[in-house]
Amino acid sequence: TTHAQHSANLKQDSVVEDISAGCGVINFKVNRKLLVQKMLEPFGKEEDVKFGLTSELFNTLKRGTTLVEYSSPNIAKKFHAGHLRSTIIGNFIANLKQSLGNNVIRMNYLGDWGMQFGLLGAGFGQFGCQEKLKQNPLQHLFEVMCSSTLICRFCLAVIVVVFFLQVYVQVNKEAEHNEDMKQAARDFFRQLEQHESEAVSLWQQFREITVDEYQHIYKRLGVHFDIYSGESFHQDQAQEVVQQLQSQGLLKTSEKGTGVVDLSPAGDMSSVCTVLRSDGTTLYITRDLAAAIDRKAKYHFDEMIYVTDKSQENHFHQLFHILLAMGHSWADRCKHVPFGLVRGMKTRSGEVVFLEDVLDEARARMLHNMSQSKTTKEMDNTEDTAEKVGISALIVQDFKGPLLSDYTFDWDRMLQAQGDTGVFLQYTHARLCRSVLRASPSCSTFFGMLSQLAGGVSIFALCDLYSYDEVLYQSAQDLQPKHLVNFLLKLCHLIASAHRELPVKGSSQVVAQARLRLFSGACSVLANGMRILGITPVDKM
């Protein structure tokens, strides 16, 4: 039978208004008025914030408790571009899961334990004063820095981390050639592991001061955590894990005297994972094993997602492998989301050391760009707007491609008002807010406006809006933000065309209100999508 015969046998209905045969295809023409009606019904009402989220597509997704571990900086090491990526990617995943109905636990798992604290403790004994640290920690750290030939150009919020870095770098250099310093570091860490009060007190001060300062950065990024945890919470449990591995026959002793788990398929020790040093102290992976087991018992998660750079892929492969070998079948529901490196992230003053510098630079550059605009003069909160738009630009540049790919940081391209940037997203949203505020369509004219939106650029914009649930579904499948970013950018380009071709001002009331309903829907979806990405929409810029 031919395509023409097939099409003749098919019947039209309220959805499909015409069926015809083409060259090797059958064409279905959808009733555009019905399509417009169904797409526009949610907008202008309270449920517009839920648009796309109640789709039947999501019925196949497993909902439950999702624990997301992200950011996770190491205390005494710099908060660098990798931590920025982990922070914003983890925040996106947590936002996405929460918007789709999951109970989300946001965890910051600090690198607050390990031999680097032996080095830091030994270094503080040489370069710092414990009494002054107790009395006035920030002021003392500032004094220590000023007395050590470093010219500090950073605010006090970053001085703590600078100081730790300075001490850590100095003592590392010292330890390379000084056996006494190496031994002092080992002794201090052993004191920590044995809970000796003086060492624990100094460690607690370092941790608390640093966490306070990190929270300042998170607040600027619009990121929050439900739980601040860390390796230190699981030091004793890590020893229990070692005992469990031993009792299960999984712990072996290497030629060097370290405790290892055999990961080789043949059981010939050709591939092992070290979980215990020869002196009996634990390692990062031992504490990660303890942390995972503890989290399952405490939070009863249905899935756990780790967001770290791709250099840790083997670490998480080993972690999940050992958990399964220990009999924890839930390890199959643990996932590592890896990401690539950022190249070329520099400020005007040179190489970037701290995330705070990047945020300051983004705000300063955005303020400069905004100062060239007439509308900026009408705003009361230019610095706050510049901060939000600058962070939007950072996030969109980071999210446009696959997370696993490395990318080169480009200030000029990132902050362009035109093109596929976070600035363009914010500009479009602000412009839509101005349009929507002019009038609000009433229900009495709703069906009269359908014919006004059934053709041209408006139907393309509406069809794009209608694919929002598919984009969220795709994002939920692979946890990649690129789908949502590219959808929102495409929507912005369509809306830019609609603004040119579908003016509100000067149009009849029915036409104007039809177009405003379209712009209202686009504004709502754009704002909701931006929030999932971790971007705060601005109403003016």
Same domain, 121 and 194: yes
Same domain, 8 and 152: no
By three-state DSSP, how is residue 29 classified? strand
Same domain, 452 and 413: yes
The answer to whether position 504 is within a domain reads yes
Same domain, 424 and 509: yes
Q: Of all residues in the chain, what percent carry a pLDDT higher than 90?
A: 40
Instruction: Read off φ and ψ for residue 292, nearest 5 degrees.
Output: -65, -45
Q: What's the Cα-to-Cα distance from 72 to each of 82, 105, 294, rounded to whole Å?
A: 10, 14, 17
- When divided into structural domains, the chain yields a total of 3
pLDDT for 444 beyond 50: no
Both tokens of 4, joined, read 């023409």
Cα angle 33-35-39, degrees, rounded to a multiple of 5: 120
Same domain, 4 and 54: no
Who wins on pLDDT, 240 or 164? 240
Same domain, 10 and 143: no
Who wins on pLDDT, 231 or 24? 231
pLDDT classification of 479: cutoffs 50, 70, 90: very high
By three-state DSSP, how is residue 74 classified? strand
Who wins on pLDDT, 30 or 297? 297
The helix (H) or strand (E) run that includes residue 20 is strand 16-21
Answer yes or no: are the C-beta atoms of 517 and 37 closer than 8 Å: no
- Among residues 180, 195, 225, the one where a domain terminates is 225
The answer to whether position 482 is within a domain reads yes
Same domain, 56 and 185: no
Highest mean pLDDT among 143-152, 175-184, 204-213, 287-296: 287-296
Highest mean pLDDT among 90-99, 109-118, 235-244, 251-260: 90-99
Answer yes or no: are the C-beta atoms of 214 and 84 closer than 8 Å: no
Who wins on pLDDT, 57 or 15? 57
The answer to whether position 70 is within a domain reads no
pLDDT classification of 16: cutoffs 50, 70, 90: confident
* pLDDT number for residue 125: 65
The answer to whether position 268 is within a domain reads no
Q: What is the DSSP letter of 265?
A: T
Tell how far CA 505 is from the center of its chain: 40
Instruction: Read off φ and ψ for residue 353, nearest 5 degrees.
Output: -110, -40
Both tokens of 31, joined, read 């009733």
Listing from the earlier edge strand, what are the strands of the sheet with 272-276?
A: 251-253, 259-262, 272-276
Mean local confidence (pLDDT), 83-102: 95
Same domain, 55 and 146: no
The answer to whether position 314 is within a domain reads no
pLDDT for 87 beyond 70: yes
* pLDDT number for residue 55: 87
Q: Of all residues in the chain, what percent carry a pLDDT higher than 70?
A: 74
* pLDDT number for residue 195: 83
pLDDT tens digits for 186-242?
Answer: 777 778 778 888 778 877 877 887 787 788 889 999 999 999 999 888 988 999 999
Domain containing residue 14: 1-30
The secondary structure of 268-324, three-state, reads CCCCEEEEECCCCCECHHHHHHHHHHHHHHHHCCCEEEEEEEHHHHHHHHHHHHHHH
Who wins on pLDDT, 406 or 503? 406
Same domain, 494 and 389: yes
Answer yes or no: are the C-beta atoms of 462 and 44 closer than 8 Å: no
Same domain, 393 and 490: yes
pLDDT mean across residues, the chain? 81
* pLDDT number for residue 142: 43
Same domain, 16 and 53: no
pLDDT classification of 156: cutoffs 50, 70, 90: very low
pLDDT for 500 beyond 70: yes
pLDDT tens digits for 329-372?
Answer: 999 999 999 999 888 777 666 665 567 778 888 999 898 888 87
pLDDT for 48 beyond 80: no
pLDDT classification of 119: cutoffs 50, 70, 90: low
Mean local confidence (pLDDT), 363-389: 82
- Among residues 225, 242, 270, the one where a domain terminates is 225
**Catalytic residue positions, numbered:** 77, 80, 83
* pLDDT number for residue 235: 83
pLDDT classification of 151: cutoffs 50, 70, 90: very low
The answer to whether position 148 is within a domain reads yes
524: CATH: 1.10.730.10
Same domain, 514 and 437: yes
Lowest mean pLDDT among 177-186, 386-395, 419-428: 177-186
The secondary structure of 464-497, three-state, reads HHHCHHHHHHHHHHHCCCHHHHHHHHHHHHHHHH
pLDDT classification of 537: cutoffs 50, 70, 90: very high
* pLDDT number for residue 370: 85
Lowest mean pLDDT among 129-133, 297-301, 402-406: 129-133
Who wins on pLDDT, 502 or 323? 323
Answer yes or no: are the C-beta atoms of 223 and 240 closer than 8 Å: no
Answer yes or no: are the C-beta atoms of 292 and 55 closer than 8 Å: no
Highest mean pLDDT among 141-150, 272-281, 322-331, 449-458: 322-331
The answer to whether position 434 is within a domain reads yes
- Among residues 201, 225, 249, the one where a domain terminates is 225
Instruction: Read off φ and ψ for residue 108, nearest 5 degrees.
Output: -105, 110
